[in-house]
Amino acid sequence: MKKKDVLIKIKQEEERNKERIREAEQRRDKMIESARLEAHKIREEAEQKAARLYREALEEFEQERTQEEQALIEEQETHLEEMRAHSRSRMDEAVSQLVEEFERYINAQAEENE
């Protein structure tokens, strides 16, 4: 084989190698782009899921809080009604005592005037 033929073959082989490298780089770039797109998709899905879970947790908290507040209000209303009933019974006693005290005062005044 002549030197010129060897150089031509080397040149052709170099060109084939360059083409293989270019193809490999293109495959690599496509794989990287595909991975980036997939990562972006996964991130968006994760953010959406996190937002949904946050909303659900917040709604659950609001429901629990509302139920707890309602239970507390009902408990306080029951306690208030008990206090009112107790106050009414004590009021009757107080009025009776005041009437008795007033009658004693009147009787004492009447005895002094006799």
For 49-72, what is each residue's pLDDT tens digit? 999 999 999 999 999 989 999 999
CA distances from 112 to 66, 79, 107 (A): 67, 48, 9
Question: Is a pLDDT exceeding 90 seen at residue 14?
Answer: yes
Q: Which H or E run includes 114?
A: none
Taken in order 70, 73, 74, 75, the sign of the CA dihedral is positive
Q: What integer pLDDT is reported at residue 86 of this predicted model?
A: 87
Q: What is the mean pLDDT of the chain?
A: 91
Using only C-alpha atoms, what is the Rg of the chain?
Answer: 48
Tell me, what's the pLDDT at 2?
86
Task: Please give the share of the chain, as a percent, with pLDDT higher than 90.
Answer: 59
Q: Which residues contact 52 (CB under 8 A, 6 or more apart)?
A: none
* Domain spans in the chain, listed from the N-terminal domain onward: 1-82
Q: What is the pLDDT of residue 75?
A: 93
